[in-house]
């Protein structure tokens, strides 16, 4: 994958397949410590230790469409190539937590890319799930919570195109104040 936003989308789609009802995605650009941190947590079905080991094997997948499960292994490799780290914790019935750290200034760190587009793709794929998106950098913090948006919409679905445009604009402005 050429940008980190695509990794975020791929991993969060795993959360959707794991029957998560809530997915929390955090992107933290900590320039003072030269770090870019991506966290993805869900309340899906979770994985056993053995399933985590399999999920990190690029030649294993539970998907029926393709024969390779490259998402987690590629993300781990991208982090390690950029002087970073990769951590995953999961328990059956308790969900999964993932934290990936990159040295922000590393020449091999992939660009962040279109995070707003990835969040929108998740909402369009499964509008009934809740997503919390948090973005932080040294000068600002932005949070989008679809549960709060849903409350104010009074029944209008999140995949309504006016709502999608609002969410996309909110994320883009929140990440670039």
Q: Please give the Cα distance from 49 to 130 (Å, whole number).
A: 26
CB distance 162 to 170 below 8 Å: no
CB distance 118 to 103 below 8 Å: no
Tokens 């309504």 map to which residue?
160
CATH (residue range 4-172): 3.30.565.10
3-state secondary structure of 69: coil
- Domain segments of the chain: what residues? 4-172
Model pTM? 0.92
> Mean pLDDT lowest for which of 49-53, 64-68, 77-81, 84-88?
64-68
With bands split at pLDDT 50, 70 and 90, how would you rate the model's confidence at 59? low
Q: Where are the beta strands (DSSP E) in the chain?
A: 22-30, 35-42, 85-91, 95-103, 130-137, 141-145
């Amino acid at each position: 994958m050429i940008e980190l936003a695509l990794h975020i989308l791929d991993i969060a789609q795993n959360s959707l397949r794991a029957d998560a009802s809530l997915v929390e995605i955090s992107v933290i650009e900590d320039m003072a410590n030269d770090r870019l941190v991506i966290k993805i947590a869900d309340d899906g079905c979770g994985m056993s230790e053995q399933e985590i080991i399999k999920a990190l094997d690029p030649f294993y997948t539970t998907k029926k469409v393709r024969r390779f499960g490259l998402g987690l292994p590629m993300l781990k490799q991208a982090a390690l190539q950029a002087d970073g780290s990769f951590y995953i914790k999961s328990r059956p019935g308790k969900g999964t937590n993932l934290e990936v750290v990159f040295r922000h200034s590393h020449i091999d760190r992939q660009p962040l890319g279109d995070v707003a587009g990835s969040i929108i793709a998740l909402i369009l794929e499964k509008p009934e799930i809740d997503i919390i998106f948090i973005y932080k950098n040294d000068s600002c913090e932005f949070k989008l919570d679809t549960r709060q948006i849903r409350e104010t919409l009074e029944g209008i679905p999140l995949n309504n195109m006016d709502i999608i445009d609002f969410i996309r604009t909110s994320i883009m402005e929140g990440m670039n104040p």
